[in-house]
Homo-oligomer: A and B are copies of this chain.
Amino acid sequence: MLNERKIMVLQAIIDDYIRSAEPVGSRTIARRYNLGVSPATIRNEMADLEEIGYIIQPHISAGRIPSDKGYRFYVDVLMEPSEIPEGKRSEIQRRVGAISHEVEQLVQEASKLLSVLTNYVAVVLAPQMNKCVIERIQLLALDEYRILLVLVLYPGLVQNRIVRMPGTYDPDALPQISRELTERLQGVAYRDLLSSLIKEIKREYGDLGAALLDVIAGELVDSKQEKVFLSGAISIFEQPEFKDLERAKGLLGLLEQKDALSGLISTLSRYSGVQVTIGRENPMEEIHECSVVTSTYSVGSKVMGAIGVIGPTRMEYANVYSVVELLANSLSEVLTDLIK
């Protein structure tokens, strides 16, 4: 059914369309990719490819463009992830590695790099707190009403909050309480820090412990909002498919809703490794004309976040695939080093 030549024609259509964004006709293929047959033959093959659903004719007198199904076949079967030359490779690793002091800044740099290297929109989710485990809790007296709560998570995240106490308190009690809380909660997954557990502990302490635990519980709720970094949003205007303002607005609107965006990327990167989601495979209508390439990154052996690239379905899959893979790996390495 899919003989050698059909595959070559399909590949030619996809390659050409990715390059030019114009429907590609039989003559173009015959001229540019010398398959040794005439346009008429190619037309016949194209008619077959269209019947299987790999390509589409936007209107009767136009060339063909790949369908989502066509891209899927391309990504799964035909595509070879492009080699990133060693020079560029090490340059990227150097730039990611250069920012080793602050996680958020590192993540932001990664998103910039991702968008520059692909020319599409890059999204990077910061390491997710609710995948962490509590390592240590430390209370520091600030003044007679305020306490600084420092929450050290594994791997490698630190949170702090200033807690206002309802009345004055005994600062000398803090080290002891810190030790006990740490002992009690160490190793507990951040997301498991449920109210039940907190209530249980609450009973054992007086007002001080209660107020503190309320704050920790509050923090838990907030943490639902994961931080997400976005770069290269304007790049969508480089793509002819977004000449249409309405469509561009739809996508931009999604990009502005950080929570929806973060949800999207985590959903798509459900499985580790590089994932490609094409067109209507995407869960949201705004990106039914887009493809998303995602990958997770890890700290140590633990998946802690995800990165992704959003572009038109007519995307340079081979390049994006490699870049996403490389960057996710670099990020994992640097973060893992940071924590050790």
Contact = CB atoms under 8 A, between A and B. Distances in A.
Nearest to A253: B234
Interface string A227-260: 0000111100100000101001100110010000
Given A138-B140, A140-B138, A249-B237, A158 B148 contact: yes
Given A161-B101, A222-B102, A225-B105, A148 B148 contact: no
A173 interface: no
Interface string A160-178: 1110000000000000000
A218 interface: yes
A263 B206 CA distance: 48
Highest count of chain B CB atoms <10 Å: which of A140, A215, A225 = A140
Contacts of A249: 234, 237
Contacts of A243: 245
Contacts of A152: 140, 142, 148
B225 A252 contact: no
A136 interface: yes
Contacts of A161: 101-102
Contact of A245 (B231, B237, B253): B237
A158 B142 CA distance: 11
A231 B101 CA distance: 28
A150 B156 contact: no
Highest count of chain B CB atoms <10 Å: which of A140, A142, A158, A253 = A158
Interface in A291-321: none
A233 B218 contact: no
Contact of A256 (B101, B225, B231): B231
Contacts of A234: 249, 252-253, 256
Interface string A134-165: 01101010100000101010001010111000
Given A101-B215, A136-B140, A237-B248, 7 more contacts: A101-B218, A140-B150, A140-B152, A148-B150, A148-B158, A156-B162, A158-B160
Closest 9 CB pairs of A and B: A234-B252, A158-B160, A237-B249, A234-B253, A138-B140, A101-B218, A234-B256, A150-B150, A234-B249
6 contacts: A102-B222, A136-B142, A150-B150, A237-B245, A237-B249, A237-B252
